Amino acid sequence: MNGWVRGIGLAMLALGLALAATVCAGSWLGERKMARRIALDVADVDLPTDAASIGHGRYLFNTRGCATCHGRDGSGAAVIDDGTMRIVSPNITAGANSAITRYRTRDWVRTLRHGVKPDGRPLMIMPSEDYSLLSDADVGAIIAYVRQLAPVPGQAAQVRLPLSVKVMYAFGAVRDAAETIDHGAAPAPAAAPAVTIEHGAYVAHSCIGCHGENLTGGRIPGTPSAWPAPANLTPGHGSAMIRYRTPESFMAMLRSGRRPDGSSISAVMPFGALGEMNEVDMRALHAYLKSLPPRAGGQR
């Protein structure tokens, strides 16, 4: 009996040591992975100077999530701060603690489309997969708008991840945008916005960072436990879209942050940005989501 108990004790000790070694190795590998260099040949895009194009850049900045994370003035903000994880977006104006004082146009393109810093290291948390297929015209408009923002003092970028997330990142359960993006994919061609499925697909690409490449939702690996799992946006099992049979009901939700029954949707959903989308984008997005093949929720 004593030998049996001793054997179990030794086995548990060995298991504990193995687990500790895995965690230590994972933490080290996670830090090393964040410091890796990614070689990319990135071309410039033309930056517009006319008021209409810069106004369009402002619209995209406010409705595609840029302002949600960096603030409407571009000064940066604490995006996540739950005691275990702290993510502070950088100041992208030319003010104090600016992250972009030496950014060339191609550095902006590398950041937006590829999730890679000018020095080749991957960006953490930045959802560049949402912007990877933006047309040259839209990328240029966003950059032109940001470059003319008034210089304001802001916060330096900060990424403090809990040990568990570093381990998940090391072993591929959590991935940075640079891992998920097809860096050889051609950007979308410039096209006039219209209430079409094609334009809706273009708008919906800015949703994949949260809802997944297949838009089926499911828990985002590594996010705080208080964050709800994003909804399934396809017509499959567990779909949120069954509530929004008409474009009008869908637009009302985006503008109010409430379901048709009046209940509130989680504030994690960026309604401040979504509610500012124009009617063409909203109607096109609804048409596209309604056209998707049914998929079971949670497949991301």
Its sign, for the CA torsion 230, 233, 235, 240, is positive
Structure confidence by residue, pLDDT tens digits, 79-128: 999 989 999 999 999 999 999 989 999 999 999 999 999 999 999 999 99
Is the pTM above the cut of 0.85? Answer: yes
Query: Would you call 114 helix, strand, or coil by DSSP?
Result: helix
pLDDT of res. 298: 87
Q: Is the pLDDT of residue 17 over 50?
A: no
Q: What is the pLDDT of residue 6?
A: 55
Please report, for residues 57, 239, 287, the alpha-carbon distance to residue 196 in angstroms, rounded to integers and kept in the order given. Answer: 21, 22, 7
Distance CA 35, CA 24 (A): 17
Dihedral, 294, 297, 257, 265 alpha carbons, nearest 10? 150
What digits encode the pLDDT tens for the residues 262-280?
999 999 999 999 999 999 9
pLDDT (0 to 100) of residue 10: 47
Instruction: Look at residue 211 and tell me whether its pLDDT is greater than 60.
Output: yes
Question: Over the stretch 234-245, which tens digit does the pLDDT of each residue have?
Answer: 998 889 999 999
Q: Residue 155: its pLDDT value, please? A: 84
Q: Among 119, 110, 127, which Cα is nearest to 69's?
A: 127
